[in-house]
Structure 1
Amino acid sequence: MAYIGTYHSPLGNLLLAADDTGLTGLWFEGQKYFARTLPEEQLLKETPVLAETRHWLNIYFSGKEPAFTPPLHPAGSAFRQAVWQILLQIPYGKTMTYGEIAREMAKRQQVSHMSAQAVGGAVGHNAISIIIPCHRVIGANGSLTGYAGGIDKKAALLELERTVL
């Protein structure tokens, strides 16, 4: 069963989704791939995971780095899961390029090369935006590229974190 709720952020409304294990989705209304991983059967209900996610978002949007992460349960291939694990390790206020993530993936998978485009596909299909910080991934030249929520929101999130590009 999927449980859903909403959150009114300074950047627009967010849809939150969770199952009994953890958060499964966090999308800006109308973003690319909006609620694509959400099952048809869902219930509008407050759960401990959704409450903890709201608490995390309240701290985050107040301009502070939350000291905890709500339980996460993203659905995706092993490759996507591995990329998302790297995203979770990008520190608050810092960025990584798609190429840097590709090199880290190659190292972890013990291969000589990993495609930055493949990494970009995994980053773009992250269903738990903000908490799995895909907004911290930038182009090789420092450009703000490829954010499903929109480049304006990516810029605002990085500004909130006082990220220097």
Structure 2
Amino acid sequence: MTDTEVTDVTDVADAGRVTPTGPPAWAWTTVATRVGPLGLAATEKGLLCVAFHADAATAAGTVARLTRRLGSGPLPPPPPPCAAHEVLATATAELTAYFDGRLRTFSVPLDWSLTSGFNRRVLRELAAHVPYGTLASYQDLADRVGELGAARAVGVAMGSNPLPVVVPCHRVIESNGGLGGFGPGLETKRDLLALEGVLPEPLF
């Protein structure tokens, strides 16, 4: 199978774009995975948010926060067809394939609007240059974006990542080989790294 590459269409599209008036149209869904349900939010620009442990209560809280942030609630399921729902369909198919071991690199477009500045720079570097089955340290990522003393700030950026799994903050560890932190829990981080062959699968 030929892997596709992470694609970010916002760089070119945002250049010279007139910012639209009114809140963006967005959509929400959940997908079952080996690490529990993931909540997915998308706009017509791309995948906006991935939320772990998206049971009914957590999903409702995430949708409420996004509604406040974006200024509008999610679109109802289609019909009619909607670009945001098309992004969700692509993300769902790719995440299902990833967790089944059939996909190593995501091609779903990404909407980076929930992050900015240093955090966005680090996350984009991570998405583009730390592929499936590899690891990078917090310090390594700091070096890559030209901020040599910013390992701790990279850790903060990983903790605020709105697009985990697709933007793979689980691949970032401490310089001494320790797993470091992970908001959804270290067990989930170990499971993702085991899926990618970096760690052995748990015995039970």
Report the TM range for the smaller structure's normalisation.
0.7 to 0.9
Q: Which residue of 61, 67, 90 maps to 1:39?
A: 67
Q: Which amino acid aligns with 2:91?
A: T
Distance change (3 Å), C-alpha of 1:71 and 1:58: same
Tell me the TM-score normalized by structure 1: 0.87
**Cα distance in 2 for residues equivalent to 1:163 and 1:65:** 16
Unaligned runs of 5+ in 1: none
Report runs of 4+ in structure 1 exceeding 4 Å deviation. Answer: none
Higher relative contact order (CA 8 A, sep 6+): 1
1:52 matched to 2:90? The reply is yes
Partner of 1:9: 33
**Cα distance in 2 for residues equivalent to 1:85 and 1:148:** 19
Partner of 1:122: 157
Residue aligned with 1:154, SS: helix
Task: Using the TM superposition, give the Cα deviation of residue 39 of structure 1 relative to its aligned residue in structure 2, in angstroms.
Answer: 2.6
Task: Using the TM superposition, give the Cα deviation of residue 65 of structure 1 relative to its aligned residue in structure 2, in angstroms.
Answer: 3.0
Q: Which of the two has higher C-alpha Rg?
A: 2
Q: Which amino acid aligns with 1:79?
A: F
Report the number of matched residues. Answer: 158
Tell me the TM-score normalized by structure 2: 0.71
Task: Using the TM superposition, give the Cα deviation of residue 67 of structure 1 relative to its aligned residue in structure 2, in angstroms.
Answer: 4.7
Q: Which residue of 113, 118, 124 maps to 1:79?
A: 118
Unaligned runs of 5+ in 2: 1-24, 79-84
Partner of 1:140: 175
1:23 matched to 2:47? The reply is yes
Task: Using the TM superposition, give the Cα deviation of residue 68 of structure 1 relative to its aligned residue in structure 2, in angstroms.
Answer: 4.0
The alignment's C-alpha RMSD in Å is 2.1
Partner of 1:160: 195
